[in-house]
Structure 1
Amino acid sequence: MLREAGAAELTGPFTDTVVTVPDATAVLSVPGFEFHRDDLPKTVHLVGVLPPRATRDWVPPAWWDTIPEERPVVVVTQGTLANTDLGQLVEPALTGLAGLDVTVVAALGNSTAELSVPVPGNAYVERFVPFDRLLPRAAVLVTNGGAGGVHQALAAGVPVVVAGETEDKPANAARVAHHRLGADLGTANPSPEAIAGAVRTLLTDGEVRANVRRIAEVYAAHDAVDRIERLATQA
């Protein structure tokens, strides 16, 4: 197919040619999140992240306007893929955070799984809460490390606790830890105590919170849609 299109022959590993063969590769990320690389092809562009999908038809739950303003909001999610076993992250998070003076909002990502632990008095659980509405109210995001949630949180100025071992999740966690944008728990099955300890630290760690504020400004300076459109017309 490439030969018929007049493209150059593939050389090197296929995983490398994904970014070396195209005239332009748009990566949904920003400088300051990725590791510095001197060997990155000049055709690779960090364009920012896509804006969250608009949720004008979303109806807030009854508790939405009753969240105490004086208490930090901790958002918990297992994303949209690895959410069939809520015992990996959501349940230990609910258990561990029950003893903190925070409000927990667990978004199950439309998972059909059922909780096997009681919902503590400081927590709300919903199948879906749009991040464009939720993250502006959040102080910390606890996530299994999917790129979408991590990037959206950092773009909103929210530090992240990452606990994931599949797909791109360990790579995202490594970047979070390297740039001190949150905490990497190093497992997909963290204990309630580990989650609570990480959240407690991030709520008061001035260095991490300053790092996240700075990278949020980097995200804000990138218009991914505009950049992709310009790359498509220039390539």
Structure 2
Amino acid sequence: MGPTLPVSKTQVHVVIGSTHRFSHLEKAKVIGAHLIKRGYPVTILAGPSVRDEIESIGAFFAPMQGRAGGSSTKPEFNQPPPPWAKEMEVSALTNFFIGPIPDEYKSVQDVLKALQQEGQTNVIYMDDIICGAMLPVYLGAPGAIKPNGVIKIGTTPIPHETADTATWTMGIPPQSAHPASVGEMWETKKDIYRSEEIQQHFVNVLREMGVPADKLRSLPRFMHSQGTCCDAYLALSIPEFEYPRSDAPESIHFVGALPTVGNVPSSLPEWWDEVIHAQGSDRKPIVVVSQGAVNNDPTDLILPTIEALKDEDVTVIATLVRGPKITADLPSNVKLADFIPFDTLLQYTDVLVSNGGYGTVQMALSLAVPMVLAGVYLDKYYTNSRAAAMGAAINLGCERVEPGVVKKAVCSILSDQKRKEQCLGIKGRYAEYNALDQIVAFVDELAQK
């Protein structure tokens, strides 16, 4: 459990609310493992299917109950309908974010109650934006146990809608009320994230949980509320990644990117040493293409990238994560892997082709890896737009790409020394932060109150 600790800290227990989804659970595990190393007992709540993963880092496991426990596959997210998948985003908000709040709340409250009964009176709670367990607590649900401190881990773009910024995921520059340059996407995102129907669903869920009527009348929009019900919102990024907010809450702090995806049970492919450590003329630029674990139809990005680069003097490494297997014959310059931890793979990568995703982009930025990005659903539109605005990426602004477009973008990056220098400068900014130690510092501070 770590070294002998002062009495004041031995009474503190950290509870982390998470989900079974890889990109979120891994961050909870990385943070939890570091807190354990620093001497804190840690309980992580997630779906029952990941109990062994959580206990393997030395954390206590507690189940997210009911809808909050989920399943590792949700078809409504894996097959978004074209062209903008508005239905998928609405479904995600109503069914994946808002719908499980009662079960998330009950799951966390059961853990807090059990800790109280064991004499653990000083509890720090943290979760990320996908978990709404603390919303009913802050909004006055009857009988709610409030931890001594609450920390939100920012695993997405900052959700606060302020005077300077548009609603979450729109990617609209400050003071731009209706920019013509984003036309249809602006209207689509506005319809989703300012939807009165979704807001009413949010209100109804909280009303059924006993949240007082006066709190419901002044309830902020769902995404905005996620970042306000906490003592500290710790964005896993740097200030330059976000648009400036003149009226940002004092609770927002930037802590940089997490340095690792954690202890992933995965061996490196048999071709790893041959490709990564090739010397002389055998050493070719490495282009990694990956689509993540949600929108993972290989015909959107992976197969077009393989087609685009089949005759180029590069090595293409395609990682499928949780996507379907690729059975087609592959060009000789392509290597396939189910999964390779990005903190390992990106150290050797010259260009990353990805549909984005906040954690992936932050890790690439922190390692000076330039990107070709193609993704518009959920937070990807904002994330990919900001990476491009920083000079670290070419944003294709679509979900399904054409091989010729990918080829042009990859070749442009490989020949652009100025962009490489820009990426190194961004890496330097990330190096000024230490996310894990800063998270511990916030826990330490709240534990002393």
Q: TM-score w.r.t. structure 1 length?
A: 0.90
Q: Judge conservation of contact 1:180–1:211 (CA < 8 Å) in 2.
A: yes
2:286 is aligned with 1:73: yes
Work out which of the residue numbers 322, 326, 336 in structure 2 matches 1:110.
322
Deviations along 1:10-34, whole A, 9 cap, x unmatched?
6533432322342211111112222
Q: Judge conservation of contact 2:374–2:395 (CA < 8 Å) in 1.
A: yes
Q: Quick check: which one's helix share is greater?
A: 2
Q: Give the corresponding residue for 2:257.
A: 49
2:387 is aligned with 1:176: yes
Work out which of the residue numbers 125, 132, 135 in structure 1 matches 2:336.
125
Structure of higher RCO (CA pairs closer than 8 Å, 6+ residues apart): 1
Matched residues in 1 for 2:258 and 2:295: separation?
21
Work out which of the residue numbers 83, 91, 94 in structure 1 matches 2:303.
91
Code of the residue aligned with 2:255 in structure 1: it is V
Q: Give the corresponding residue for 1:141.
A: 352
Aligned-partner SS, 2:237: coil
Code of the residue aligned with 1:108 in structure 2: it is L
Aligned-partner SS, 2:240: coil
Matched residues in 2 for 1:32 and 1:12: separation?
26
Matched residues in 2 for 1:182 and 1:74: separation?
14
How many pairs are equivalent? 233
Q: Judge conservation of contact 2:292–2:322 (CA < 8 Å) in 1.
A: no
Matched residues in 2 for 1:178 and 1:93: separation?
23
Q: Give the corresponding residue for 1:158.
A: 369
Q: Give the corresponding residue for 1:202.
A: 413
Aligned-partner SS, 1:141: strand
Matched residues in 2 for 1:45 and 1:206: separation?
32
Identity of aligned residues (%): 34
Code of the residue aligned with 2:312 in structure 1: it is L
Q: 1:56 to 1:173 in 2, by over 3 A?
A: closer
Deviations along 1:136-185, whole A, 9 cap, x unmatched?
11001000111121111111110011001212111111101111111000
Code of the residue aligned with 1:106 in structure 2: it is A
Q: Give the corresponding residue for 1:16.
A: 224
Work out which of the residue numbers 222, 229, 232 in structure 1 matches 2:443.
232
Code of the residue aligned with 1:33 in structure 2: it is F
Deviations along 1:178-222, whole A, 9 cap, x unmatched?
111110001010111111111101112122211111111122221
Work out which of the residue numbers 271, 274, 291 in structure 2 matches 1:63.
271
RMSD: 2.2
Matched residues in 1 for 2:265 and 2:223: separation?
40
Deviations along 1:75-95, whole A, 9 cap, x unmatched?
100012211x11000000100
Work out which of the residue numbers 236, 239, 255 in structure 2 matches 1:31.
239
* Aligned-pair CA distance for 1:124: 0.2
* Aligned-pair CA distance for 1:116: 5.8
Aligned-partner SS, 2:289: strand
Code of the residue aligned with 1:198 in structure 2: it is A
Q: What are structure 2's unaligned runs of at least 5 residues?
A: 1-136, 147-213
Q: Give the corresponding residue for 2:428.
A: 217
Q: 1:116 to 1:197 in 2, by over 3 A?
A: farther
Matched residues in 2 for 1:210 and 1:36: separation?
24
Aligned-partner SS, 1:79: coil
Please tell me whether Structure 1 or Structure 2 has the larger radius of gyration of its CA atoms.
2
Code of the residue aligned with 2:221 in structure 1: it is P
Q: TM-score w.r.t. structure 2 length?
A: 0.49
Code of the residue aligned with 1:119 in structure 2: it is L
Deviates more, 1:161-170 or 1:30-39: 30-39
Aligned-partner SS, 1:20: coil
Code of the residue aligned with 2:243 in structure 1: it is F
* Aligned-pair CA distance for 1:55: 4.7
Q: What are structure 1's unaligned runs of at least 5 residues?
A: none
Q: Judge conservation of contact 1:31–1:218 (CA < 8 Å) in 2.
A: no
Deviates more, 1:2-11 or 1:127-136: 2-11
Deviates more, 1:85-94 or 1:217-226: 217-226
Q: Judge conservation of contact 1:135–1:158 (CA < 8 Å) in 2.
A: yes
Q: Give the corresponding residue for 1:193.
A: 404
Aligned-partner SS, 1:154: helix
Matched residues in 1 for 2:361 and 2:386: separation?
10
Deviations along 1:93-151, whole A, 9 cap, x unmatched?
1000112111110011132x132643111110111112122111100100011112111
Aligned-partner SS, 1:158: coil
